[in-house]
A and B are shown apart, each in its own frame.
Chain A
């Protein structure tokens, strides 16, 4: 009965590889997000989708491509992984994109690029 789930929890890979992180929410929310948390725990939004439509796209390398097959899923695909991509990636969801709506975060995916 997990609200926001992510797979995998840990991902260790070599530089240059392509990898994907999957996210699913069972809360019936319209809006989903991807955040990156760096080694200093700084949280920064990467993308936001509302009803499968991209509404926020921060300054993120185009090696990162989100995909939302339906409003319950938001996957993150990363091409040509670099050392600096090592971080914890969090998926989150909220009822909609309005201010004041609580964002529910997943457990995170720790990505390590060797």
Chain B
């Protein structure tokens, strides 16, 4: 059972445009929601993360919007650049003693020059 559902699977955006990736979760015990960025041939790297006590977090061109009642969160990339082309994973982890990350299925983002 996939606990974190991510869409779209792939996304093509023009340079300067806004990229939006959505995730939905089922487990109400999740209390930490990071986004990871993965370039080809590399391991994932933390991009930005949010906790459910805030509805939005912004770091530079990257913003997470969080809707606790709908159990949804999304990543917005403003002014998308070709260098942003990568695979993006949302993830979630529950409170508890062994807080493992559950990843979404990933979104392949291509930003056209």
Contact = CB atoms under 8 A, between A and B. Distances in A.
A102 B34 CA distance: 9
A99 B43 CA distance: 20
B93 A99 contact: yes
Contacts of A4: 43
B32 A100 contact: yes
Interface stretch (B15-23, B72-80, B95-103): B95-103
Contacts of B100: 33, 45, 48, 56, 58
Interface string A44-87: 11001000000110100000000000000000000000000000
B98 A56 contact: yes
Contacts of B51: 100
Contacts, number: 60
B46 A43 contact: no
B43 A105 contact: yes
Given A42-B103, A43-B89, A44-B103, A103 B46 contact: yes
Interface of A: 4, 33, 40-45, 48, 55-56, 58, 90, 92, 97-100, 102-108
Interface of B: 31-32, 34, 38, 41-46, 49, 51, 87, 89, 93-103, 105-106, 108
10 contacts: A41-B108, A42-B105, A43-B44, A44-B103, A45-B101, A48-B98, A56-B98, A90-B43, A105-B43, A105-B44
Given A45-B101, A48-B98, A90-B43, 11 more contacts: A33-B100, A45-B100, A45-B102, A99-B31, A99-B32, A100-B32, A100-B49, A102-B46, A102-B49, A103-B46, A105-B43
